[in-house]
Structure formats: C-alpha cells, structure tokens
Amino acid sequence: MMVGLDAFFFFFVWLLFWTPSAFANTEKVIFSVPDTPSSALENVINGSNLDPIGQLSPAGSPEKLLLRIELPREFPTESAPRGVDSWVLLKDLKPGARYEARVCWAATTPSDFWLSVHSSLDSSGPSSDLYLKISAIASYYTINATLMENPEPVLVDIILDEFLLGVLPRSLLNVGLFIVVVAGVAWYAGFHLIHWLDGITRTGLKDKVA
C-alpha cells in the first residue's frame, strides 16, 4: 500500500513543479530600485530621447501593473541581433524595493525577448522612475514569404511585480496558496481512499480464505 501513497505524493510534487510553466512563455528581469540617485543602475540612458509605448506604476490610483500591448519584432540581423527595442516607463517605484518585470506571450507566436532595466539621465531627485527595455525578435520559419519579410507584431502581457519581503512575487501569492490548499486536500482525500480500498481488499481476501 505504501507504493500507492508514494505515487500519489510524487504526482502532486510533479504537478507543483509544472504549474508555473503552464500559463505561457515568459521572460523576466529582476531588479532593485536605487535608494539614491548616485547609486543609479549601471546602464544609464538618456530618457528624453525615448518614446515609451506605455507605463506601469505600483503607486498610482488605480495602480497599473499590467500592460497588454502589441510589440513590434523583426528577424535578427547582423546590425540588430536583438531585433526591435521597445521602452516602458516604470513610474513611482519604491526606492530600495525589489521588483520583477515579466513579458508573457502565447506559444503560437514564437518570439525571443531580452529585458533590461535602466536609470535615466534626465530624472531629478530620487531615481524612482526607471525604463524597461524589451528587445524582440521573431523566431519562426514559414514558407509564407510575406511573414518571413515582415513579422507581425506579437501580443504580450507586460507585468510589474513587487517582491514581498524581497522574496515572494506579490502576484504569485494567491496562486501559491491555492496550489498548496488543493494539493493538501487531494493528498488527504487520496490517503483515505487508499485506506478504504485497502480495507475492501482485505475483507475480500478474508472472505476468500474463509
């Protein structure tokens, strides 16, 4: 009977392991907001030259943590191995806090993304505004010449997530609790089911012997 219980247990561990990857393809970058302007991020850019496609802000009312948008992409070339750059303004971040920015896209639009976060030269005062750079290339092959020449934009969700206590992404908290509760209930139910089946088998055997 222990074999049955072990199998059950491993099945749920396996489920836990795979659940985060069930949503979509994801690329992410984790960063800390500089406390002071002098400790700006390494890659400083001149923000006044940029034309952001949108902005995300954890502090606004209502807060904006999700941006669903179509990003331009190209096939990589020698001069632009990472395709097209798009910029998102990350506004009113908490100085010193840790965040994760994620890009999620459907597996039906094969693409590769590179994410990086930059401080801006033109920001005065604490650098609580940062820029997220998303570089996008198309990564498919098709016999359709139009699509090989001009890849269509890719629909993505851009998500800004604060780490609670510096370790747990806020948006995963509910999902995490849900998985733990479901796994716990299922394990408990499975345990009793197996005991019940065990009981029936034993009774059956006894009847046979008798």
From candidates 21, 38, 61, 146, binder to ligand NAG by CB under 6 A: 146
Stretch that binds ligand NAG, among 23-31, 34-42, 57-65, 143-151 (CB under 6 A): 143-151
From candidates 13, 147, 173, 185, binder to ligand NAG by CB under 6 A: 147
Kindly determine how many residues on this chain lie close enough to bind ligand NAG according to the rule CB under 6 A.
7
Residue 113: both structure tokens together: 């993304």
Q: How far is the CB of 74 from ligand NAG (least distance, A)?
A: 16
Rounded Cα distance, 105 and 107, in Å: 7
Q: Tokens 């247990």 identify what position? A: 9
- Which residues on neighbouring strands pair with residue 141, listed in sequence order? none
Rounded Cα distance, 112 and 136, in Å: 6
What does the longest C-alpha to C-alpha distance in the chain come to? 90
CA atoms within 13 A on the CB side of 37: 7
Closer residue to ligand NAG (CB): 147 or 164? 147
Which residues lie closer than 8 Å to 185 by C-beta, 6 or more apart? none
Q: Quick check: bond before 20 cis, omega within 30?
A: no
Q: For ligand NAG, what does the binding mask look like between residues 37 and 76, x meaning CB under 6 A? A: ---------x-xx---------------------------
Which residues lie closer than 8 Å to 141 by C-beta, 6 or more apart? 148
Q: For ligand NAG, what does the binding mask look like between residues 150 and 189, x meaning CB under 6 A? A: ----------------------------------------
Nearest to 71 by CA among 47, 56, 58, 54: 54
Residue 205 binds to ligand NAG (criterion: CB under 6 A) = no
Closer residue to ligand NAG (CB): 147 or 180? 147
Chain residues 83-142 in contact with ligand NAG, contact rule CB under 6 A: 121
Closer residue to ligand NAG (CB): 152 or 198? 152
Question: Could you list the residues that contact ligand NAG (CB under 6 A)?
Answer: 46, 48-49, 121, 144, 146-147
